[in-house]
Amino acid sequence: MTSPTRRSFLKLSGFSMLAACSRGLDQKAIPLLVPHEERVPGRAVWYATGCSGCAAGCGVLARSRDGRPVKLEGNPAHPLSKGGLCATGQASVLSLYDSHRLHGPRSRGEAVDWKRVDAEVRAGIEAARGSGTAVRFLTGTIHSPTVLAAIRSFGARFGNFQHVQYDALSSSAQLDVYEKMLGTRALPRPRFDRADVIVGFDADFLATWISPVEYTRDYRAGRSLEEDGRHSYHVQFEARVSLTGANADRRFVRSPDGLRDAISELAVAVARRTGASIPLTATPKPEIKELAARLTAADRGTTLIVCGLDDADAQKTVAWINTQLGNYETTLETGRLSHQSQGSDTDLLALQREIRAGAVGLLFVAQCNPTYDRPGLLDLTKVNTVVSFAGHDDETASKAQFVCPDHHPLESWGDAEAVDGIVTVSQPLVAPLFQTRALVDSLNIWTGGTDGDASSAYDLMRATWKQALLPRAGAGAGSFDTFWAKAVHDGFAKLKPATVRVKPPAASTLRASAREPGTEGLALVLYAKTGMLDGRHANNPWLHELPDPVTKIVWDNYACLSATAASRLDVKEGDLVDAGGVKLPVHIQPGQHDDVVAIALGYGRKGTDRFAHVGPDWLEGDPTVEDGEFVGKNAAVLRGKARVAVKTANGRRVLACTQPYQSLTVPEELGGDKRPMVHETTLKEHRRPSASPEEAHGSHGGSVDLWPDDHRFKGHHWALTADLSACTGCSACVIGCQAENNVPVVGKDEVARAREMHWIRIDRYRDDGDVAHQPVMCQQCDNAPCETVCPVLATVQSSEGLNQQVYNRCVGTRYCANNCPYKVRRFNWFDYPHDDRLANASLNPDVVVRSRGIMEKCSFCVQRITEAKAEAKREGRPLRDGDISPACVQSCPADALVFGDRNDPDSAVSKAWTDRRQYRLLEELNTKPSVGYLSLVRNRDV
């Protein structure tokens, strides 16, 4: 007997269903009531604004679609960032759509309305004024002229008022030194583009130190490969492995004490060569001697020494060496001083004493989180009234009586004078999503200003600009309205900088840094991690899932140990250790000093327990964080300790790493040869005129075609090149791509199963201590192996050389991913909805949100290609080179990526394609990728 099968039942009933279908769901289309001047539905509008991811003050172009900001990109006209934007900056658009932000003011932990909180804060202010008690305003670095003016005028109402600034990632010691040298608390601006020799002591200036995008741009500009161009020689001394160290031409590993010694040694060696006499005694090591020779041999003012140690003696010695080498005014620009870090640890300690003595009656806390990043320092219970302006219910805000949440930067007016005379303007792109209020507004209202006037932040900012900035703009600025309109349009204003004179430190005052006492345990290095920085972005899942550029680990912080230190402790990768009371998994970091344990700051933030259920919920899945726990551990509790005891602790914690292997060398048992993924050469070899491409950069495979005429690409032939010499591995492109292409967050467990979804990855290889970074996205092969195996033709070649993935055709066999030699295809094992529904508003409406069971991959941002083509056609002109810039190319602060039409002989990509450094990945497979790589050039033997 034949029984009906499930299949036949479905067939029949399905057919009847189809027949019964009419329009599934009636949908409404609701237009605006009154047409908006700037807004055409479906058309993006760009506004110039400023980034507030850190205090660097980069310029941003924000893309708004139908009233929602959906993408942030660097503003090419901005004098500091020049079109670059780091991962943190790009990710801050997601933080706007964060439903865990405070929805309104709070009074003693209870949600109240603004009227009530205003009345209560006013009462607190009046009480403080009456009693004459100390009023303190504690902030991170603030260089906004408007906010500073507002705080000043607010403080003028009190008898005993002080604005205290401190930085979680402190440059206080360096500032202390320069305050004496410059007469103002600011830093000279390092100009990496003007330096022939760069020496870094623990300053991670390409990733997290002060203003990484600006520095990356400059650094790149100073590393030309042209015959007569400047190509700097970069030496880095460091204890852990930083991204900057990984990019250096020479990298020397020193313990934290050893770093201080190295600075003294360099000072002594330079003094010997210049004939100066200094009270330092040290015996320079050979490499220091050689470096000193190189520094003194270079023209005066063409070298640059930067130091990231928070140690005044070391900083002073570095300033002295820079003076000896004539670097002020040239590579250390004092014409435009940097205000990107202004905090003073001395002031913070003074505040601690005042609070402990019970002298502070009223404390305002804005743009900082001292309870988290200086644990136990400030005893807020001893302050009568604490008012916080935090946007989240963070560690400090939850201890404050009143929380008056500030807007997200994309919701409010603002300005930033990060560098003297360059003022970035921020403008709101969207009305505040919650009942938040600008800080200047709050201060204004409490001092009797207009109550609840939504535009008052704008008015206050204009007033400050008219009063304080217009006079500095010079005669050419015109009327205030012209000046203002231009500044808002451009996103910044250029003013005349203040003039300062540098008073070099007297050689006689140089001192060797105090040795850190003790020998037990390991020397502690606390560092900021790319993306997460001091922890202020801990609510952003994109940044948690961004693989660390050095370790490639996501969703955790960990104790980095060298292999020797780990074997001494008898621990393996992932084993828990107790470092000074903080229990962390071990990550074995090749290239780190043996006597060092390095731990990232910025983790263990309150509120990150929200990520417990990020990613798919399935039987075998593990949560990203255990219920009630935070992402990572707060290492700030170890601040101030030079050494910590590191003991093994019971247990393990799996670290999710996107690239656990380090080396390009195949294991001995498999042949032991080095795979040619990264081609390398030296500057000397590269510039040798007779060097043939093969000689200098290794051989290129020939190609034979079975079907030579299969793909002719008569119109455009899109291609991309990645310059490995320029790529620093900063990972801005990864987040840029994520924002542009609606790439989901999958959670730690999925990443550990190698199911991360990023369309672009940065491969990091470490061989013989040298690190190479290689961005790998879909190679858009002309002979694509994926296409030949797809049974449903869901991935096919376009007439313009794109390897297209058609989501609605894909049935999820995953044959293509198996056949892809570059492993760039990503499969949707699940639906990956946002953990926060509000975050759906950040989706790019031009790109499909992929569902479960289909394959996806880099598309060369095909939506941008079609958009640019449609616009060119509309304007009746041919496409120009540079019209199309995929998200990764656009976001690169180092200009390492170039995109364009290979069929246009004048395009930048065509030129790169014929560069003798050019090669392609796995060329021997004859896949004919449309992504080319330019080999890595190290400056080793000038």
Contact between residue 622 and residue 834 where contact means Cβ atoms under 8 Å apart? no
Q: Which of 23, 353, 501, 714 is in the footprint of another protein by CB under 8 A? A: 23
Smallest gap, in angstroms, from Cβ of residue 866 to another protein? 6
Interface with another protein, residue 663, by CB under 8 A: no
Amino acid sitting at position 330: T
Q: Which of 29, 431, 670, 706 is in the footprint of another protein by CB under 8 A? A: 29
Among candidates 105, 111, 131, which has minimal Cα distance to 384?
131
Instruction: Report the C-alpha gap between 571 and 783 in whole angstroms.
Output: 46
Interface with another protein, residue 788, by CB under 8 A: no
Q: Which is nearer to another protein, 41 or 671 (CB)?
A: 41
User: Residue 889 is encoded by which pair of tokens?
Assistant: 């190319």
Binding mask 2-21 for another protein (x = CB under 8 A): -xxx--xx--xx-xxxxxxx
Interface with another protein, residue 431, by CB under 8 A: no
Interface with another protein, residue 862, by CB under 8 A: yes
Q: Which is nearer to another protein, 645 or 847 (CB)?
A: 847
Among candidates 324, 58, 306, which has minimal Cα distance to 187?
306
Smallest gap, in angstroms, from Cβ of residue 710 to another protein? 16
Q: Which is nearer to another protein, 133 or 803 (CB)?
A: 803
Exposed/middle/buried for residue 487 (C-beta within 10 Å: 0-12, 13-18, 19+): buried
Interface with another protein, residue 796, by CB under 8 A: yes
Q: Which is nearer to another protein, 20 or 670 (CB)?
A: 20
Smallest gap, in angstroms, from Cβ of residue 15 to another protein? 6
Amino acid sitting at position 522: L
Q: Which of 373, 441, 836, 846 is in the footprint of another protein by CB under 8 A? A: 846
Smallest gap, in angstroms, from Cβ of residue 65 to another protein? 11
- Give the orientation angle of helix 439-446 with respect to helix 145-155, to 10 degrees: 20
Instruction: Report the C-alpha gap between 733 and 715 in whole angstroms.
Output: 28
End-to-end CA distance of the chain: 87
Smallest gap, in angstroms, from Cβ of residue 795 to another protein? 9
The residue to which tokens 């205090």 are assigned: 55
Interface with another protein, residue 448, by CB under 8 A: no
Exposed/middle/buried for residue 33 (C-beta within 10 Å: 0-12, 13-18, 19+): exposed
Interface with another protein, residue 714, by CB under 8 A: no
Q: Which is nearer to another protein, 350 or 849 (CB)?
A: 849
Amino acid sitting at position 114: W
Q: Which is nearer to another protein, 251 or 825 (CB)?
A: 825
Q: Which is nearer to another protein, 806 or 838 (CB)?
A: 806
| 870-909 residues near another protein, rule: CB under 8 A | 870, 873-874
Instruction: Report the C-alpha gap between 193 and 687 in whole angstroms.
Output: 20
Instruction: Report the C-alpha gap between 183 and 502 in whole angstroms.
Output: 8
| 43-102 residues near another protein, rule: CB under 8 A | 43
Q: Which stretch binds another protein (CB under 8 A): 612-620, 629-637, 826-834, 858-866?
A: 858-866
Q: Which of 624, 783, 863, 910 is in the footprint of another protein by CB under 8 A? A: 863
Contact between residue 394 and residue 602 where contact means Cβ atoms under 8 Å apart? no
Q: Which residues pair with 547 in a beta bridge?
A: none
| Total site size for another protein, rule CB under 8 A | 54
Smallest gap, in angstroms, from Cβ of residue 554 to another protein? 27
- Return phi, psi of residue 654, to 5°: -70, 130
- Which DSSP state fits 878? P
Q: Which stretch binds another protein (CB under 8 A): 245-253, 297-305, 341-349, 792-800?
A: 792-800
Q: Which of 7, 37, 38, 42 is in the footprint of another protein by CB under 8 A? A: 42
Smallest gap, in angstroms, from Cβ of residue 66 to another protein? 9
Instruction: Report the C-alpha gap between 584 and 275 in whole angstroms.
Output: 49
What's CA 34's distance to the chain center, in Å? 40
Which secondary-structure segment (H or E) carries 111? strand 110-111
Interface with another protein, residue 32, by CB under 8 A: yes
Smallest gap, in angstroms, from Cβ of residue 452 to another protein? 19
- Which DSSP state fits 549? T
- How many residues are recorded in the chain? 942
Binding mask 801-840 for another protein (x = CB under 8 A): -x-x-xxxx-------------------------------
Strands 250-253 vs 855-856: parallel, antiparallel or unpaired: unpaired
What's CA 556's distance to the chain center, in Å? 17
Smallest gap, in angstroms, from Cβ of residue 10 to another protein? 9
Q: Which is nearer to another protein, 482 or 851 (CB)?
A: 851
Contact between residue 70 and residue 529 where contact means Cβ atoms under 8 Å apart? no
What's CA 277's distance to the chain center, in Å? 42
Residues that bind another protein (CB under 8 A): 1, 3-5, 8-9, 12-13, 15-23, 26-35, 40-43, 796, 798-800, 802, 804, 806-809, 846-849, 859, 862-863, 865-866, 869-870, 873-874
